Amino acid sequence: MLRRIRVTPRRGSAAPRLAPLAVALNAFSIGSAVAAANFNMDFLRAGSSQADVAALSRPGAILPGTYPFAIYLNGNEVAREEILFAASPSGQTEPCLSRSRLTQWGIRMEDVETGAGDASDCLVLAHFIPDARVSYNGNQQRLDLRIPQVHLLNLPRGHIPKALRDQGINALLVDYALNGAHNDHKQQRRDDYFFASINSTLNAGMWRFRHTASANRSNNDSRTHWTTQGFRAETDLGSSHSRLTLGDTYTAHGVFDSVRFRGAQMSNDDEMLPYSQRSYAPVVRGIAASNARVEIRQDGSLIYALNVAPGAFQIDDIVPNRLSGELDVSIVEADGSLQRYKQSFSAVETMLRPGLVHYEFSGGELRSGYDRYQPRFVQATAARGLASDTTPYAGLLLSTNYSALAVGAAQNLGKFGSASIDVIHARTRLAQGKVSNGQSYRFLYSKSLNAHGTEFRLVGHRYSTSGYYDFSDASAERAQWRHGYYETSYDEQNKYPDHAAPWTQPRQHLIQSQRYHNKRNRLEIALNQRISDDYSLNASYNKQDYWGASERERELQLGLNGRLGAVSFGTYFRHSQGRYNRADRSFGLTLSLPLDRLGLRRSSSSASYSHSRNSGASYQSGMNGSLLDGDRLGYALNIGKSDTGKIGSANLRYMGSKGVATIGGTLADSYSQINWGVRGGWVLHRNGLTFAQSLHRTNVLVHAQDGAGLGLENQSGVRLDRRGYGLVSGISAYRSNRVALRTDDLGADIDASRTSRNVVPTRGALTRVDFETRRGISLMIHPILVEDIRVPLGAAVFDSDGLSRGIAGPNGEIFVSGVHLGDRLSVRWGAKPDQRCEMRLGQVQASPSNMTLPGYRRIALRCVPPGRTH
């Protein structure tokens, strides 16, 4: 197995750790330092330690053998495999690449004539593919293939081979959140409240078993109330980009409205697709007169570029900046001539890319919140994107006392935007025994006006007959039917201000009616207007009304956001009316100013004013920011006033390796409050228990032997525990994620063979990443030789266990790292007896006189042939 001698240079450090040979060159001022500073090589472990190291004549070279390597095709990782390296006629060590393996990596080999070497497992790629280049770096265990575009298979951007997907390790993961508050109402009463949520997952092979529960308790009730939110088991079906779920889950939203149920579901999973295929984008077609370059821009930004051969071309893996607008297409011919044209497009939510299929099969028992009626059902939906920028879709839902059939289509209308229309016919047997038939018509429209910075979206639901019930209404109708009436309840509008005790409960009202009020018409309009680079305006309007009822729901929102110099601001107006509550009008203004000029680089001040017809006026001003490295300690201070009196609050948040803790206090004229919270997670795996700040859906378990206390890149406050374990959360499934140690934490006493790795986890996986680290001494050794022995450039240094520990520089100086006092070191530059010598480390003093660079000590040691006395 290969092993890197040095760690990656620490970015942003005043005294970065240098590569072994670079340290030697710096210390001895060798003129060829620029060329040699990059000379770092990996050496073989015990079994290969007798090999002739004379082959190591260039940076990153290795000896013949089989090693684990990451393979990169034109800069993108495509595989991690064991690669055989063999000696070529020129004496260099080169990788052996077979025709089948190259095809698996995405190289088009059917048009490549390899002649007599067809069956060979050691093809010299440059002999058969013009301009092809193969290089490797043993230090990084990386093999790079540079292949012209014409010889690549037509794979979409972001394509990641399934072979790279990591199902992770078996483990139990628990994520928890605890919070509580003590509220003291002056001259009235005291309230205490406690809440806990626990999300646990058992990973076993490809399966994820998830359970979600919560508990709450208050001083008004001495009992602790436990609630199970759901349990499910799920796994991916990678061959079909699909997922199988058993237990509590939701039906897909799109054709029918989404509902919660307990049962089984198989559906496509867009996360498994390349990122360039997940959302709708048009297919760009054109004709090139020569070897041309196609460039595609949106809003003036270059989003795609490709070299194409003469003739017709088609580009179907564009990733637009947004889902509507115009694409500016430029075709730059070989002679410099230019063709340009625009292609308009918009996308409504039901549109798919050409060739993409969405489907879902669900069946089980409805879980809508009504215990009195939970019918069983089956549902199937399907949609397919066609080459004509049309997406037809359909769905069927069958249940006890209910059935529905849906058909529809979405169409890109070019410069006129995009639209879709569908109809659902439903048959419902009501609680009173009657059969009700009806239809629902839905219309969606989206349009972007690039020249004016406007994006417009209209969604209309209109239930054309009073006999239409969606599945949720049909279930609620039966659940609410009692003793000849439909009974429903609602909570009285809460008149307490936002800062009042959150557990203050409003009164509940009961309504009885002889008719169930099913949905009649729903209208949604949204408008976003970019005024300039610094200002934007948004507006939305939603309305819902019901058959046989005068009550309706309405909401109108207007907002303006922008920046005046260093000050950011936002203002809004909102008018809302619930179905049973009176209308409310509110407006507000918020200002925010960074405090950089006062020397508080990670702090800002803010002020806000708001007014509501129901709760009155209030204003607040405050300051928030963060302290410590990695922003681990956050704070917020606020004071304000409202119609109920003055109020002030202070809050702290600390992020540590084992969790996040918060504490805060509020003091008002009529009450005071103290609140606290703790959240975190832990993972039980075969090597023990590891704690985390929090756990997300997909996570990585990091282990570095002798790496206790090291930080993890982009994980604020997270450090490896005393056993060298740590957790990285917030990982993207089915995409390449970089997991790395914080190089700033790597001192001269730590030797790391590698500090970063890329992983492609499946959804919900706990992927394990191991880094080889070893604590020890880093030395620059001047060998005292006998019998006219000379240590050549590139000689390898091994410890008594056969592990590579260093390298020889141009003048015979030796750099070693990760060694300990008493270690016996063997220096080898060949297999013959006179091509090796041995050293033994004694006591090493850390005085200024023997420090070559910060953290590195310079000593002289006798290096004698094997069997001689030191």
Q: Cα(365)–Cα(262) distance, rounded to whole angstroms?
A: 5
Q: How far apart are CA 401 and CA 381, in angstroms?
A: 20
CB atoms inside a 10 Å sphere around CB 860: 10
User: Does residue 251 fall inside a structural domain?
Assistant: no
Q: What is the structure's pLDDT at 2?
A: 39
- Give me 617's structure tokens: 């006026």
Determine, yes or no, domain membership for 704: no
**pLDDT at res. 780:** 83
Phi and psi at residue 650, in whole multiples of 5°?
A: -145, 140
Beta bridge partners of 418: 412, 446
Q: What angle do CA 489, 494, 499 make, to 5 degrees?
A: 145
Question: Pick from 835, 841, 842, 845: which is nearest to 866 by CA?
Answer: 835
Mean pLDDT by runs of 10 across the 870 residues of the chain is 33 36 39 32 32 47 77 84 81 82 82 54 78 81 85 80 89 93 78 88 96 85 81 87 93 88 93 80 80 82 78 79 75 82 76 89 88 91 91 95 96 86 95 92 80 61 83 90 80 51 56 82 84 85 86 88 89 84 84 83 87 84 86 88 84 90 88 89 94 92 89 87 91 89 78 82 93 82 78 80 76 80 84 81 60 67 78
Nearest to 629 by CA among 563, 693, 717, 690: 717
Q: Is residue 156 in a domain?
A: no
Residue appearing with tokens 């006062």: 598
**Alpha-carbon span 129 to 430, nearest angstrom:** 71
Residue 305 belongs to a domain: yes
Residue 303 lies in a domain: yes
- What letter would DSSP give residue 433? S
Domain membership of residue 331 as a residue range: 281-346
Q: Report the alpha-carbon angle 47-53-56, nearest 5.
A: 120
Quote the pLDDT of residue 14.
32
- The gap between the terminal CA atoms of the chain, to the nearest Å, is 31
Residue 187's CB is within 10 A of a number of other CB atoms, namely 6
Find residue 781's DSSP bridge partners: 814, 859
- Please give the pLDDT value at position 22: 41
The 8-class DSSP code of residue 23 comes to H
Residue 333 lies in a domain: yes
pLDDT at 111: 62
Which of 121, 5, 1 minimizes the C-alpha distance to 65?
A: 1
Phi, psi of 670 (to 5 degrees): -105, -10
How far apart CA 757 and CA 731 sit, in angstroms, is 13
Q: How many domains does the chain have?
A: 1
3-state secondary structure of 289: coil
Examine residue 328 and state whether it is found in any structural domain, yes or no.
yes
User: Which tokens in the block code for residue 57?
Assistant: 């004549």
- Give the pLDDT confidence score for residue 176 in this predicted structure: 92
Alpha carbon distance 670, 688 (integer Å): 50
Establish if 313 belongs to a structural domain.
Answer: yes
Q: What is the CATH number of the domain that holds 289?
A: 2.60.40.3110
